Structure 1
Amino acid sequence: MEGIRIEEVDAAGLQARLDGFTEVLHAAVQAGANVNFIWPFPREEAEAFWTSKVLPPLRAGGRILWAALDGEQVCGTVQLLLDMPPNQRHRGEVTKLLVHPGWRRRGIGRALMAALDAKAAALGRTLVTLDTRTGDAAQPLYAAAGYRVAGEIPHFAMTPEGGRYDATTYMFKLFPAGR
């Protein structure tokens, strides 16, 4: 991971690096990442995700965003959702762990998850959950980070190329209170 740094990004930082975040999402989906989008997936749709789905809760404090940066180039990202119902304020949810295909297999995903886990623990979240396409390349990464399988739901989401539905695996990690 030489030369790569992980930074927490606020709303202004997202806006300043919007093209980079857009490129990571667009490239990941084009490479087959099953992260809620299907083909065709134009760059405009990727940009709209960041401006309409991420920016408002980021401004409101209901979401934390990280970027993996190679110089000033965004090469990976992950988010921690914090805006939970009153009876679930002890937990957070991982969403959109993405590494640009050109930067994969360098430990970036692992470093992003480590930053997310450290922040969740520092905020007193005692449970972090996520879901991932069953058998996806990210599943062993999550397991290596200490996430355990809670269960699997078949036929959960359409693949990016369409025509097939894949299962999803729900995973979780418990953190000691007050850590």
Structure 2
Amino acid sequence: MTMTLSITDISTLDDGRLRVELEALLEDAVNSGASVGYHAPLAPHWKRAFWDGVAGLLSGGAHHLLIARGPDGDLLGSVQLALCTKPNGAHRAEVQKLLVFTHHRRRGVARSLMAAVEETARGLERSLLVLDTLKGDRGEPFYEATGWQRAGLIPGYTVEADGAFHDTVLFYKTL
């Protein structure tokens, strides 16, 4: 089942309500096992530090944060686009941190966010996107199903909550 939603490219994180929503989104993702750099339970200072970092990146202009809201105005999810700023990479960008609240998954939110981030990249004249995900994570088959190509695997890239090293899978998509 898909839902009607609106997607907005956010340029600043000055809105206190949005910050609270985004912190809750990150906490939900981490607590549900998403490999986004943190382990559950997520301490409040990590939530603030994460979004403070994103706010700093947004101010530089080479980073985009897209958020999805439902018909009632509730935050459903977000995704980020990091533009390469080097002269030899002006055609590429990295998709980062696709997050969807657990109670809104399997409703087309992630697909809509990915379509929007790809459209944003096209509008910024980016023709190559890359991303990575934990091997075996639910994102892996999702990215394959949405037209991303597997580029390779990096063994032992991350240490997860179980204390073990885990592999990450690299993907790319030509627009």
The TM-score with structure 2 as length reference comes to 0.92
Classify the secondary structure of the residue corresponding to 2:151: strand
Taking only aligned residues, the RMSD between alpha carbons, in angstroms, comes to: 1.6
Alpha-carbon distance in 1 for matches of 2:126, 2:15: 24
- What does 1:152-163 correspond to in 2, within 5 Å? 152-159=153-160, 161-163=161-163
Corresponding residue for residue 85 of structure 1: 86
Alpha-carbon distance in 2 for matches of 1:80, 1:59: 13
- What does 1:126-141 correspond to in 2, within 5 Å? 126-141=127-142
Corresponding residue for residue 168 of structure 1: 168
Alpha-carbon distance in 2 for matches of 1:47, 1:106: 28
Corresponding residue for residue 34 of structure 1: 35
Shift of 1:15: 4.8
Alpha-carbon distance in 2 for matches of 1:116, 1:19: 23
Shift of 1:14: 5.5
1:96 aligns with 2:75: no
Q: Answer yes or no: is the 8 Å Cα contact 1:68–1:77 preserved in 2.
A: yes
Shift of 1:147: 0.9
Classify the secondary structure of the residue corresponding to 2:36: coil
Amino acid at match of 2:174: L
Q: Deviations over 1:108-127 (max 9, x none)?
A: 11100000001111211111
Alpha-carbon distance in 1 for matches of 2:8, 2:93: 19
Q: Deviations over 1:20-46 (max 9, x none)?
A: 011000110011101111234213311
Alpha-carbon distance in 1 for matches of 2:63, 2:137: 24
Between stretches 13-22 and 110-119, larger displacement belongs to 13-22
Corresponding residue for residue 73 of structure 2: 72
Alpha-carbon distance in 2 for matches of 1:14, 1:170: 33
The TM-score with structure 1 as length reference comes to 0.90
Shift of 1:144: 2.0
Q: Which runs of 5+ in 2 are unaligned?
A: none
Alpha-carbon distance in 2 for matches of 1:107, 1:88: 31
Q: Deviations over 1:76-101 (max 9, x none)?
A: 10000014322211100000001111
Equivalent residues, number:
173
Amino acid at match of 1:93: E
Alpha-carbon distance in 2 for matches of 1:152, 1:25: 25
Q: Percent identity?
A: 35
